Amino acid sequence: MAELYGNLGEYLSFSVSSFLKQQILYRNNKKSKSKSKSAKSSKSVVHVYGRWDEVPDDMMGEILGRLNIIDRIRLGGVCKSWRSIVKQKDIHSAPSVPWLLLPHAQNCNSLSFFSMSEGIVHTIKLPEAAQGGWCFGSSKGWLTIARGTQDDPQVFLLSPISGVQRHLPSLTAIPYFKDFVDLAWDPNRITSFIRKIELSSTDLSKCVVAATFRLPMANILAVCKVGDKEWRVFQGLETYFDIKFHEDKLYALVEEGGFESHTMELGSREEALIIKLIPNVSARAPFLIEEETEFAGDIGIQKDGLESHLVESDGELLIVSALMNILFSIFHAEDEEEDEDRSLDFIYSKTTKYQVFKIGWSTSTFTRVASIGDKMLFVSQSESSSLSAPYFNGFSGNQIYFSEDSIDYYGLDAPTPLVCQESGVFYLDDDRIERSFPSINLSTQCQMCWFTPHLDHLL
């Protein structure tokens, strides 16, 4: 069956002429069969093809389970009977290699995604309401879009294929947003306030939305449900490196402290969210080099800066840490002599290595993982995921596909809203890095990230 339908995606892209040829062949075969019945002496064998729009439902289910989301959508456009089967959500599609969201300008009316499995770029037009905004991440097949000013900031979720949009509570409902506006050099950079938005499910009707927001000295964690009027802020200021929903709990990677568990109500006592805090591995792993900063005049080099991600793989959470070398320059006016009056003028980050850790929950320890076997990890500041390489032609395991940026190394009052972004592949076998795209200096409003479309909200 897999061999028979292995190239179904190519079959579905047939032209009108090839379709007509199939129909003519079918009719000729039908006539030949009728003639063969009357001519008993004939020894020729006639192959009869069934109607392509009358494939049995159980066979269609087998086919759907082998198609990725894009081929499944194409299949649904062939005829009504196939479309009705495609809409059956209990038939799960095959996993897809994430797309990489490419850089975009604020005034764009479309977004472009690079598909590594196909080797092509998909360009999808944005609905009018999303044009003029910034896409700053993705989660569970939804893009996160921000637009507006400090007086009317709008944040919403967008399914780029279906065009479905769902608004999240206003940022002005967060008590600390006014502090951000007062301190930020450019208050229109609302995505500078939002570090990450994470969804618990692709189905927004039963989804919890968690977000981390940047403050000058720390970050805050807040949650909501789609349709809520305000965010519920988790009490206790921490520096959050990453957040991830796993087994109906929200895990947060924090700068320091111990393994802690908290319960947060979501509007009623019957509905609560368990939040589990995990100290960043850098605080407990002595084999990681401490951050060091060297200066040569106004040029500074910080070695082994750390950016950590939570990734779910084979039912467990992994911590994936990127080590970076950060090069930056200091700017100050001629009449400014004190160090505290100086500010960042330029910054460039370069990823040098990745390390993977398993979490020992019972012992509150971390174990470094030398190999992830046939797994591929996709990490970025927003969406991170894991896939098995044998399911995808042309891909190999024990590799980390990354898209990193240095936005967190800027202060909110940075005079130049630039962020250095880079992407590539890290090979755990020999600590080698291949950079797929050159590093890019762009506005902090725009971030590259991984995006995986899902079926739940597309049909």
Q: Tell which of 35, 62, 86 closes a domain.
A: 86
Q: Is 354 among the domain residues? A: yes
Q: Provide the number of structural domains found in the chain.
A: 2
Average pLDDT of span 20-37: 51
Do 178 and 270 lie in one domain? The reply is yes
Do 444 and 368 lie in one domain? The reply is yes
Q: Is 47 among the domain residues? A: yes
CATH number at residue 269: 2.120.10
Do 164 and 78 lie in one domain? The reply is no
Q: What mean pLDDT is reported for the chain?
A: 77
Is the pTM for the entire model greater than 0.85? no
Using the structure block, give the residue that is written with the tokens 């927004």: 204
Q: Where are the beta strands (DSSP E) in 286-363?
A: 292-296, 299-313, 316-331, 343-360
Lowest mean pLDDT among 25-29, 59-63, 306-310, 433-437: 25-29
The answer on pLDDT for 9 being more than 50 is: no
d(CA 156, CA 191): 12
Q: What is the pLDDT of residues 392-416, one digit of tens each?
A: 988 999 999 998 875 554 444 454 4
Q: Is 2 among the domain residues? A: no
Give the strand pairing for 208-214 and 219-225: antiparallel
Is residue 163 very low, low, confident or very high in pLDDT (cuts 50, 70, 90)? Answer: confident
Q: Tell which of 51, 86, 121 closes a domain.
A: 86
Q: Which of 243, 321, 317 is CA-nearest to residue 282?
A: 321
Do 325 and 394 lie in one domain? The reply is yes
The torsion angles phi and psi of 215, rounded to 5 degrees, stand at -120, 165
Q: Is 213 among the domain residues? A: yes
**How far is C-alpha 334 from the geometric centre of its chain's CA atoms?**
44
Range of 25's domain? 8-86
Do 163 and 309 lie in one domain? The reply is yes
The answer on pLDDT for 276 being more than 90 is: yes
Q: Would you tell me how many other CB atoms lie within 10 Å of the CB of residue 112? A: 15
Is residue 79 very low, low, confident or very high in pLDDT (cuts 50, 70, 90)? Answer: confident
Is residue 107 very low, low, confident or very high in pLDDT (cuts 50, 70, 90)? Answer: confident
Q: Tell which of 55, 86, 117 closes a domain.
A: 86
- Strand-pairing partners, residue 344, are 330
Average pLDDT of span 166-181: 85
